[in-house]
Structures are given as structure tokens and as C-alpha cells.
Structure 1
Amino acid sequence: MRRKHVPQRTCVGCRKIRPKREMVRIVRTPDQGVKIDESGKAPGRGAYLCRERQCWERALSEKRLDHALQTGLSREEWETLLEFGQALELTDEASKG
């Protein structure tokens, strides 16, 4: 019996390879905006981040996300993404404990 193919993606922050479903996709939309893609299917150039605060902070502070999306993040987009990354960690900690 064949094993089911599980798509893998690399985290922009920590460079670890993980299953696509375990990560959060950030997309540069065709109108040059940057947003969090909850569905994982939005059109545009995408980049993936783990659900860990360190990955989000590294990707944003070292401009790895800018490079992966081939665009510059506005201050508003940067702050929105950082807040989302910090909220993810709190959500994960609550579900563990």
C-alpha cells in the first residue's frame, strides 16, 4: 500500500522543514499587500512560518520574510504579523497546559 504524500515546507524563520499543515502561510497578494493566509490557497507569492514566537521574530527582525516575499513590509503589516505570531504562542501554550 502506498503512503499518502504529505507536502513539506521550509520555515523562513528557523529553516526547519515541516508538514505544510503545521505552518502558517503569509502571502503577498497581487495588489502588493501582505496578509496571513488562513486557507493556504490565496493567490500570490507565499512564505511559511512555524507556530513559534522565535520564528516570527527572526523572520521579521532579520527581514527574511521581506526577502522570501520579494517585497518590503510596511510598518503596519510588520506590526500585524508580529502580533499574530505572539498570539499563536499564547494559543499553543493554553492548549498544552
Structure 2
Amino acid sequence: MKVKKVPLRKCLGCNEMKPKKELIRVVHNAEGITSLDTTGRAHGRGAYVCKSKECFEKAKKTSAFNRAFQANIPQDIYENLSKELGVDE
């Protein structure tokens, strides 16, 4: 019997490779809209972050989302993402 390979993705906060299902996907589409992707299938460039407050804060502080999407992410989008993630600022 063949064993399925588990897809791994790197967290932008802690830079650890983890199974895709343990991470949250943030997507930046062609229209320039950045949002949380709960299904993991939304169109656009995806970046992954752990479900912890520390990883989100570290990714925000180091501008990891800006580098991943090659675009400047406004501060209000970070606030919306933190509300959606349940991270209190």
C-alpha cells in the first residue's frame, strides 16, 4: 500500500516547515486584495502562517507578507487579518 505524501509549507513567522493543514493561508489576488483563505483554494499568491499570535506578529514585524506578495500591504489589512485570526492587538 502506498503512503500519501503530506504537503509541507513554511510559516512566515517561525520559518518552520509544517503540514499544510496546520497553517493558515493568506492570499493576495491580482486585484491587489489580501484576505484570509479558509478553504486553501482561493485564486492568487498564497503565504502561510501558524495559528499562533506570536508567528503572526513576527511575520507582521519583519514585513514577511510584503516580501511574499512582492507588494506593500497596508496597515488596515493587517488589522483585518488579526481580527479574522482572532489575534488581539
Distance 1:20 1:88 in 2: 20
Distance 1:20 1:58 in 2: 19
Q: Structure 2 stretches of 5 or more lacking a match?
A: none
Is residue 82 of structure 1 aligned with residue 82 of structure 2?
A: yes
Give the letter for the 2:16 counterpart: K
Report the alpha carbon displacement of residue 63 of structure 1 after superposing the two structures with TM. Answer: 0.3
Give the letter for the 2:57 counterpart: E
The percentage of counterpart residues that share the same residue type is 33
TM-score w.r.t. length of structure 2:
0.90
Q: 1 or 2, which has the higher helix percentage?
A: 1
Distance 2:75 2:42 in 1: 22
1:34 match: 34
TM-score w.r.t. length of structure 1:
0.83
1:8 match: 8
Q: Structure 1 stretches of 5 or more lacking a match?
A: 90-97
Contact 1:60–1:82 under 8 Å retained in 2: no
1:66 match: 66
Q: 1 or 2, which has the higher strand percentage?
A: 2
Report the alpha carbon displacement of residue 16 of structure 1 after superposing the two structures with TM. Answer: 0.6
- After TM superposition, where is structure 1 displaced by more than 4 Å over at least 4 residues in a row? none
